[in-house]
Structure 1
Amino acid sequence: MPWDHGYFSSTSYTSGVYRELAPAWLDFAALLKGHQPPRSHEGEAFAYLELGSGMGLGLCLLAAAYPEGRFTGVDFQPDHIVHSRRLAQQLGLGNIQFQEADFLSLAADPGPLAAAHHYVVAHGIATWITAPIQQALLQLASAALNPGGIFYCSYNTFPGWLAASAFQHLGELARQRQGEASAAKAFQQAAASLTSLLGSEETPSALALAQPALRRRLAQIPTQNAAYLLQEYANEGWQPLYVDQLHQRGAAHKLRFHASATLPENFLELLPANVRPAVLAETDPALRQSLQDLAINQSFRRDLFLRGVAASTDSELRQRLSQIMLRLQEAPATDTYRFETSFGQVSGVPERYQQLEACLANGPRSFGQLLEETQLQLAELAKILALLLHAGRVGFDRWACADVERARHVNEQLLTLIRSGRSYAHLVAPASGGSVNFSLVEALLLDGQRRQLGGSELEQQLLEGLKALGRSIKAEPAALLSAFLERQPRLQALGVLP
C-alpha cells in the first residue's frame, strides 16, 4: 500500500489553531466530570504529544505559552514536518520537537514515546484514516499516555454528517475519474451536480426533502479553502462514526471516555427542553451519549478519554477546582448573554454573568474566590464559566507561570511572517495560556502604528500593504482601524502586545 495509506497527501493542510488543545482547558474539562488532571497544579512540568500535528502552528503556540511543557509533534507527511521544524526554529522555541513517523510503525514500537506523556491529542484525524490506521492511532495514544493521562480525540460524527456523506461519495468518484491534479475541481463539480438534484426551494426533490441540511452544506463548498476541502473529503478512510463506535474502539485500548472538551456539552441541562427528558431518562452512559448526539444532530465531537482513573473524594476535587485561576479575556460590555452551542442557543441570566465578570474586572480570581464573591453554588458557577470560556469572554490565568518576554518574541516573529504573506492568523496570549486571532489587517495596522503613522496615513499604509500581497478588503479602512484601536488594550492585558 502507498506510504499515505489512502490519506490525501498531495497538498499540505491549513495552519489551524484549536483552543481546546491547551493543557489548562483539558484539565478544566476533566475536572468538570470528576477527574483529577495529570498535573497537580498550574505551572507543573508536563509532556505533551500531538498525533497528526499538521503544519505545527498550533503546537508551536502552545510551546510558547507553556514554557514548562515538553512538546512533541508527530506527522507522516514530510512537507508538514519540514514546515513545522522551520517554524519552531524561526520562533526560537527550544521545548518542542517534530518527528516524521507513521502511526502503524509507532504503534508496533513506540520507543521513547511509551508511557511518557501527560497529554496526547489527535485533532481531526480519527475519522479521516482507514480502519488499520485508526486502530494504530488509538493503540499508540494509549501506549504514549502515563496512567491517569488525558487523550483528546476529535472526529466527525453521525447523524450530523449523513447529508454530507452523499457529497463525499460523489466527489470521491469524480476525483478517481479525473485524478489527483484535478481533485479540487472534482469536488466542486460534485457539489454542482448534487445541487442540481435538489430541485428548487419551492419544489424540492425527494433527496432535498430527505436531507434538508444538504443544500446549505453544498452552498458552502465554492467558498471553502481548497486545502481544507481536499483534506476533509478526499481521504479513502473518510468515515464519520456514531459516538458509541469510537468509544468502543477506544475502550479496546484502555481508553475510557470521560468528558467533552466542548465545555457546554458537559451540562445536559442545557439541552433543548423538548429533547432533554428523553436523554436524561437514559441511565446507560453509551446510550445516553448516543441519544444526545441524535437529539442535536451532532456532527463533530471533541472527546476526552482517560487511561486510568484515580478515585478522588468530592472535597479533593473541589479543592483542585478551586485552585484554577481565571481572568477576563476579550469581553466587550453587553446586556445580553446568548451563547451559540452544539445544543442550540443558550441564554443566561444577565445579572449572574455580569456579577462574575465584574469580579474578574478587578483582576484574575481563582475558582474558589469566585465561589465566595458570587455566592453561587459550585455546579452553577462551573456551568457559567464553561459558557463564558466557550464564548471566549473568559480565559484561564497563567500570568504567574508565563514567560512573557519569550512569548512576545514569538509574537514579533509571527507578525513578521504574517506581514510577509504567511497564512497564519494567531498570536500567543501568555496571560491565558492560549492564543488569540490576529489578522493580516491588524498586523499591517500595528506596523503602521509603530512607524508613528495615524489617521489617513495609516489607512493608506494598510491598503498599500494589502495590495503588495495581492489582497483586498471590502470594509472601510477607517472602520478596521477603529476596531483595532478598541481591541488593542485587551490584547495588551493578555500579554499579546507590549
Structure 2
Amino acid sequence: MAWDHGYFSATSYTCGAYRELAPAWLDFAALLKGHQPPRGHEGEAFSYLELGSGMGFGLCLLAAAYPEGQFTGIDFQPDHIVHSRRLAQRLGLANISFQEADFLSLAASPGPLSAAHHYVVAHGIATWISEPIQAALLQLASAALTPGGILYCSYNTFPGWLAATAYQHLADELRRGGAHSGQTLKGAAERLTGLLGSTEAPSALAQAQPALRAKLAQIPNQNAAYVLQEYGNEGWQPIYVADLHRRCATHKLRFHASATLPENFLDLLPANVRPAVLAETDPGLRQSLQDLAINQSFRRDLFLRGVAFSTDSELRQRISGVMLRLLEAPATESYVFTTSFGQVSGAVERYRQLEQGLTGGPRSFGQLLEDTGIALPELAKTVSLLLHSGRIGFDRCACADFNRARQVNDQLLELILDGRPYDHLLAPGSGGAVVFSLVEALILDGQRRHLGGQELEQHLQQGLAGRGRSLQGEAAEKLTAFAERQPRLQALGVLP
C-alpha cells in the first residue's frame, strides 16, 4: 500500500481551532465525573501530545495560550508538518514541536513518545483511517499517557452517520473508477440526489433514509478541503460507541466522560427517551442507548489511563478552584441551549444570576457556589451549559502571558490579511481562541491606520475586493458590530 495507507493525501486539511482540546476544558470535563485531572492546578507545567495534528494551527494557538505546557504534534502528511513548523516559527513559539511520522511505524518504535504526557488528543482521525492504523493510534495514545492522563478522541458515530454511508460508498466507487476526487464528490451527490425522487413522491431510499436529502444538499456549500478529507479516505468508517470503547479498553484506556459537556448530564435527555436510558444500570450499554435515542453522529470522548477517583470533599475542593469569566454574552430574555440532546431550556433567573456574578470580573466556582446558593451538582450543570453555549469561559489571567499573546495575534492578523485561511485569534484571558474574520481584520487594520467613517468603510470594501471577496451586508453594520465586540475582545486580551 502507498505511504498514505488509503488516507486522502492529495490536498491539505483545513485550519481549525477547537475549544474542547484546551487543557482547562479537559480538566473540567474530567472533574464532572469525579476524576482528579493530571494537573494539580491551573498554571502547572504539563506535556501535551496531538496525534494527527493536521495543519498545526489549533495546536499552535494552545501552545501560545499555555506557555507552561510543552506541546508536540505528530502527522504523517509532510505538507502539514511544513506548514505547522513555519507557523510556529512565525508566531515565535518555543514550547512546541512537530514530527512527521506514521502511526504504524511509531507503534513499532515509539521513541520519543515513550515519555509521559498528561494529555493526548486525537481530533477527527480515529474513524477516517483503516482499522490497523486506528489500532496503532490507540496503542500510541496509551503508551504516551502518564497514569491518570487524559485521552481526547473525537469520531463519527452511528446511527447518525447511517444516511451518509450511501453517499460515501457511491463516491468511493466513482473514485475507484478513476474520477478526479473533486468531481467524484460532486458527481456522487448529484447522482444520489437523482435516486431520491421528489419530496412529494420520495423513492424507497428516501423513505428509508429521510436525512439523506438534507445531507446531500449541504455538500456543495461546504468547504471543499473539508469534504475531500471527510469522505475521500478509504478507511472512512463511522463506528458505534460500544465498538470503539471496547477497542480502547484493550489498550488500558477507560471511557470516563464527554468533552461535549451537556452529554455528561443524562437528565437533559428528551423526556420521551430519558426513562429508557436512565433505567439501564450498565454504564456502557447506557452510552449505546443514549446514542441510539438521539441519533448521535459525533462524539468527543475522554478516556483515562488509570482513574484517580475523588471523594466528595476532594471533588468540591478541586472544582471550587476553577476560575470562570464572562465571554461574549449579550443580554437575553431566555436561555435556550442547542445540544446533541436537542434544545434545552434553563430557568432565566438562575442563569442570569450566575452571569451577573461574573460581570464584575472572574470568579471561582467556589465563590459562585457561595454567591448563588445553588447546590454543587446543579451549578456544575448550569456552568456546563453556559460553557457549551460560549457565554462564559475559563479564566487564565493569573498565568497568561499577555505580551506574548499580543505578539502572536499581531502575526496572525498579518497572515489573515495576507490571505492565509485562518479565522481565529488567541484569547489569553480564557486560555482559548475566538473566531475572527477577514472582515474584522480589515476593520482593525483600518483603525490602526486612523481611518474612520466613510474612509473605513471604503477600506473594508476595497480590501475584500482586492482579495476576490464581496461584502455580505452593509459596511456600516459590520463597523457597528465590530465596535460592540471590541471591548469584549480587549477584556480577553485578544486586542490591546
TM-score (norm. length: structure 2): 0.99
1:111-122 map, 5 Å: 111-122=111-122
Report if the CA contact (8 A) 2:74-2:98 is conserved: yes
Q: How many Å apart are 1:115 and its aligned residue?
A: 4.1
Equivalent residue for 1:134? 134
* Structure 1 letter corresponding to 2:65: A
CA distance in 1, matches of 2:492, 2:462: 30
SS in 1 for 2:377: helix
1:74-473 map, 5 Å: 74-179=74-179, 182-473=180-471
Unaligned stretches of 5+ residues in structure 1: none
* Structure 1 letter corresponding to 2:143: A
CA distance in 1, matches of 2:105, 2:327: 42
Q: Number of paired residues?
A: 496
Report if the CA contact (8 A) 1:115-1:147 is conserved: no
| Per-residue CA distance 1:255-297 (angstroms, 9 max, x = gap) | 0000000000000000000000000000111110000000000
Note if 1:66 corresponds to 2:79: no
Report if the CA contact (8 A) 1:45-1:69 is conserved: yes
TM-score (norm. length: structure 1): 0.99
Equivalent residue for 1:21? 21
4+ long deviations beyond 2 Å: none
CA distance in 2, matches of 1:65, 1:108: 33
Equivalent residue for 2:56? 56
SS in 1 for 2:177: helix
* Structure 2 letter corresponding to 1:389: L
Equivalent residue for 1:35? 35
Unaligned stretches of 5+ residues in structure 2: none
Equivalent residue for 2:487? 489
* Structure 1 letter corresponding to 2:230: E
SS in 1 for 2:99: strand
Report if the CA contact (8 A) 2:51-2:121 is conserved: yes
CA distance in 2, matches of 1:217, 1:480: 31
CA distance in 2, matches of 1:292, 1:374: 31
Q: How many Å apart are 1:311 and its aligned residue?
A: 3.4
| Per-residue CA distance 1:168-218 (angstroms, 9 max, x = gap) | 000111112134xx2011110100111111111111111111111100000
CA distance in 1, matches of 2:261, 2:87: 31
CA distance in 2, matches of 1:31, 1:486: 35
SS in 1 for 2:70: strand
SS in 1 for 2:422: coil
CA distance in 2, matches of 1:185, 1:357: 49
* Structure 2 letter corresponding to 1:51: L
* Structure 2 letter corresponding to 1:110: P
CA distance in 2, matches of 1:494, 1:311: 33
SS in 2 for 1:178: coil
Q: How many Å apart are 1:225 and its aligned residue?
A: 1.3
SS in 2 for 1:160: coil
Report if the CA contact (8 A) 1:425-1:438 is conserved: yes
CA distance in 2, matches of 1:121, 1:108: 20
CA distance in 2, matches of 1:154, 1:310: 22
* Structure 2 letter corresponding to 1:104: L
* Structure 2 letter corresponding to 1:157: T
CA distance in 2, matches of 1:470, 1:203: 42
CA distance in 2, matches of 1:174, 1:15: 28
CA distance in 1, matches of 2:337, 2:212: 25
* Structure 2 letter corresponding to 1:117: H
| Per-residue CA distance 1:41-92 (angstroms, 9 max, x = gap) | 0000000000000000000000000000000000000000000000000000
| Residue range with higher mean Cα deviation, 406-415 or 469-478 | 469-478
| % same residue | 77
| Per-residue CA distance 1:405-428 (angstroms, 9 max, x = gap) | 001100000000000111100000
CA distance in 1, matches of 2:107, 2:334: 49
